[in-house]
């Protein structure tokens, strides 16, 4: 670990302990929101779901004042136009238009952490583009190996960062919020820290949700038999669709979770189409499931894409509840008997995985 990273982590941990140990007091929020005069904005404690205050927009701004005890993780805004931040005593500027906030120690500290955490994504994507630039000079095996190394490297860096913050903040709100990032980057370390942090942190809603998601995911991990689900009216003709209509019927099935509004999902379609055209038949098929998407929007996009495989529409959050599909695109590969073989295939690995699988089963 280089000296700059060490300095960053030390500063972050110190800010966390100092900020979260502050006592309660008065807060003031100076808000920026381009909306008609009289538009109501809400301040809600995301953990307790209590409404802490409301304000009306005037001249594209608003102001909220109050008193708070312990720091709280809050939602400020209306609908999808909102910001989320840690509310503590002091003055905060919250720009709903730009989705930024700043002003108090915990707010600024959380921003610093997330700038670093999501900065790793930018670095990872840069390395992936550099790899794609030399793809023609590599074999498929070499390319996939390098892709996996890049992915693993940055996931580990994100997990190291999140883990260091949680260990420095095992009994406060900042540590609780960062636990969610640890869960998404390193399940094993999340479970280890879950045993060590305070009950207050374990009871925080994001931590409870992550823990429950991991618990459910173990039931739908590779090696487990598939769990069936029903989507009422999910077929194109409006009849009910079941996952068991396709999975466990003697074919390898690649289940694609997507939505019409998801750019990365549509970017994956070229790899799916290449795989389908090469291998679809008696041994292999693809099924797409539209999640959290309006039926008319899905149908409109399908008209453009002209996908030749089966579709399940209007799945809503059923895949999320059953298979913990919390981000899309997400692919699940099932064996002919319905056993889950792999999850999370992306890009060229879709084609090469199915090619190798079918070749080995001949």
pLDDT, one tens digit per residue, over 314-340 is: 999 998 888 888 789 999 999 999 999
277: pLDDT strictly greater than 60: yes
Q: For residues 148 and 27, what is the distance between their CA atoms, to the nearest angstrom?
A: 46
Domains and CATH numbers, the chain: 23-101 (2.60.40.1120), 106-220 (no CATH), 230-361 (3.40.30.10)
DSSP string, 70-128: S-EEEEEEETTEEEEEEE-SEEEEEETTTTEEE-SHHHHHHHHHHHHHHHHHHHHHHHH
The count of C-alpha atoms lying within 13 angstroms of the C-alpha of 34, restricted to the half-sphere facing its C-beta, is 3
pLDDT, one tens digit per residue, over 240-269 is: 999 999 999 999 999 999 999 998 899 899
pLDDT, one tens digit per residue, over 1-23 is: 443 443 444 444 444 444 444 55
| The predicted structure's pLDDT at residue 315 | 94
Q: What percent of the chain has pLDDT over 90?
A: 81
- How far the first Cα of the chain sits from its last, in Å, is 48
| The predicted structure's pLDDT at residue 164 | 97
In degrees and rounded to multiples of 5, residue 199 shows phi and psi of -60, -35
Report, as an integer, the average pLDDT of 180-198: 95
29 by DSSP, 3-state: which? strand
| The predicted structure's pLDDT at residue 23 | 58
86: pLDDT strictly greater than 50: yes
């Amino acid at each position: 670990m280089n000296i700059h990273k060490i300095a960053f982590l030390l500063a972050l941990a110190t800010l966390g302990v100092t900020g979260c140990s502050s006592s309660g007091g008065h807060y003031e929020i100076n808000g920026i929101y381009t909306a008609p005069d009289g538009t109501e904005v809400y301040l809600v404690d995301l953990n307790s779901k209590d409404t802490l205050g409301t304000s009306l927009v005037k001249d594209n701004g608003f102001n909220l004042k109050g008193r708070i005890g312990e720091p709280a993780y809050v939602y400020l805004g209306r609908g999808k136009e909102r910001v989320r931040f840690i509310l503590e005593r002091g003055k905060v500027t919250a720009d709903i238009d730009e989705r930024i906030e700043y002003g108090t120690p915990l707010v600024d500290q959380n921003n610093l952490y997330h700038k670093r955490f999501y900065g790793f994504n930018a670095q990872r994507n840069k390395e992936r583009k550099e790899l794609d630039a030399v793809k023609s000079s590599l074999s498929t095996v070499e390319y996939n190996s390098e892709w996996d190394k890049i992915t693993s490297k940055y996931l580990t860096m994100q997990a190291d960062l999140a883990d260091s913050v949680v260990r420095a903040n095992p009994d406060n709100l900042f540590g609780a919020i960062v636990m969610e990032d640890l869960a998404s980057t390193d399940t094993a370390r999340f479970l280890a820290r879950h045993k060590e942090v305070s009950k207050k942190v374990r009871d925080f809603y994001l931590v409870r949700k992550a823990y429950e998601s991991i618990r459910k995911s173990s039931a739908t991990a590779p090696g487990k038999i598939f769990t069936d689900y029903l989507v009422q009216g999910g077929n194109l003709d409006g009849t009910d669709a079941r996952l068991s209509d396709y999975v466990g019927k003697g074919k390898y099935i690649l289940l694609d979770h997507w939505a019409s509004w998801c750019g990365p999902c549509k970017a994956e379609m070229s790899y799916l189409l290449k795989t389908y055209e090469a291998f679809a038949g008696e041994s292999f098929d693809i099924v797409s499931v539209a999640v959290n998407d309006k039926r008319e929007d899905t149908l409109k996009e399908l008209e453009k894409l002209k996908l030749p495989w089966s579709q399940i529409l209007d799945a809503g959050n059923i895949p999320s509840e059953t298979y913990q599909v919390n981000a899309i695109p997400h692919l699940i590969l099932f064996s002919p008997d319905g056993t889950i073989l792999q999850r999370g295939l992306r890009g060229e690995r879709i084609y090469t995985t199915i090619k190798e699988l079918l070749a080995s089963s001949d």
